Amino acid sequence: MQKSAIITGISGQDGAYLSEQLLKKGYRVIGLVRGDNAIGIKGLQYLKIEKRVEIVECDLLDISQIIKLLIQYHPDEIYNLAAQSSVSQSFQQPIGTFQFNTLSVYNLLEAIKLVNKKIRFYQASSSEMYGKVNNLPINENSLLHPLSPYAISKASAHWICKNYRESYGIFVCCGILFNHESYLRSTNFFVKKIIQESIKISKGLQDKMTVGNIDIKRDFGYAPKYVEAMIKMMQQDEADDFIICSGKSESLRNMIYYLLDKQGIDHKKCEISDKLFRPSDIDDIYGDNTKAKSKLNWDNSMTTYQLLDLLLEEELISSVQCYLKSHTT
Ligand code: NAP
């Protein structure tokens, strides 16, 4: 029988790639959006799958809407990707971030408990939950010490999920994903920003790029590869939590200089602004993906620099296609 999956946050980066992979596996995919707008599905359009995903409006803060959806679509799996996902923005909107990122999870799990406890649930947890790190690499047993409102909201949601698994036996798994990037990443995230802005500088369309603290280190991977792990987690015999990461961190400064060097741009074109520093930040973080390797048979596919090469190429191809389109229509 055909399996069906509901994806919240379908309009985001991971929502698009996850839809593509579930469709390839023969799933019926129902994607939830908060508003009725075409911009929201541009990731699906980019992957040319917008006609194959059923888009439904749903306010995840209203449990009655979720209950109705579960009764109407009787999904086998729910992938909960919707969240205010920007660490920087969470410092501007701490309460809104906390409210949405926790209450939406409570509503979804409570609805599952009321309607059908057999529905499997995936929660998008985050490496940001570990924050102030004592021991590296981070594994599934490392202590949580969140350093931002976003991280606090994700840590709370993580514990809500564990509680529904332990108290009610619901199949709930948390994918603790480290930073993962792609062409579909929003422009307000670091890697997408430095790729787009370095291209603009190389073409003389922009003078310089302004960045915040680039002496921090992060563990980066490729979104389509990380999304594969979400599906694998949901097919296990028992629900569990998994760290998904590359296992290595890289400094943001080195990543910027790599992109500038590749395009023959002077390092002076990168300017640091104290205004872009966060009130608190993680210095260095990388994970240990041993559990995912052994239990999910999942492995990271590329180094940070291979990732930058791939993303730069895709961005360049896309900018040429946009140029050609605007000059032929
Ligand atoms: P993303 O591109 O920012 O997408 C977030 C999604 O959540 C969008 O569909 C967005 O809808 C939706 N959303 C945000 N606020 C909402 C609200 N108040 N009500 C309803 N929907 C709302 O994020 P992503 O990169 O795909 O990440 C997917 C999930 O993984 C997120 O939960 C994120 O926190 C988590 N995560 C991501 C990373 C990463 O490196 N990408 C790492 C660890 C964890 P709109 O289009 O309407 O704004």
Q: Would residue 318 count as lying in a domain? A: yes
Residue from 11, 19, 125, 126 carrying the catalytic annotation:
126
- Does residue 137 sit in the same domain as residue 281? no
- Does residue 132 sit in the same domain as residue 194? no
Q: Which two tokens stand for residue 321?
A: 């296609």
The kind and range of the H/E element at 245 are none
Q: Please spell the DSSP secondary structure of 207-244, one letter per residue.
A: S-EEES--S-EE--EEHHHHHHHHHHHHTSSS---EEE
- Does residue 99 sit in the same domain as residue 213? no
- Does residue 158 sit in the same domain as residue 208? no
The kind and range of the H/E element at 121 are strand 120-126
- Does residue 161 sit in the same domain as residue 275? no
pTM (whole model) above 0.85: yes
Residue 303: exposure state from Cβ atoms within 10 A (0-12, 13-18, ≥19) = middle
- d(Cα 246, Cα 221) in Å, to the nearest integer? 6
In the block, tokens 């003078």 appear at 207
Q: Judge whether 128 counts as a catalytic residue.
A: yes
Domain that holds residue 273: 188-218+248-285+302-326
> What pLDDT sits at residue 206?
96
> What pLDDT sits at residue 319?
82
Asked whether 1 and 27 are in contact (CB, 8 A), the reply is no
Q: Which atom of ligand 1 is nearest to the CA of 34?
A: 20
Estimate to the nearest angstrom the gap between the alpha carbon of 239 and the chain centroid: 20
pLDDT in tens, 285-329: 999 999 999 999 999 979 999 999 999 999 999 887 777 777 776
- Does residue 20 sit in the same domain as residue 154? yes
- Does residue 136 sit in the same domain as residue 48? yes
Look up residue 242 and give its amino acid: F
* Ligand 1 surroundings by CB, under 6 angstroms: 9, 11-15, 34, 40, 60, 81-85, 100, 124, 126, 177, 179-180, 186
- Does residue 239 sit in the same domain as residue 108? yes
- d(Cα 171, Cα 121) in Å, to the nearest integer? 6
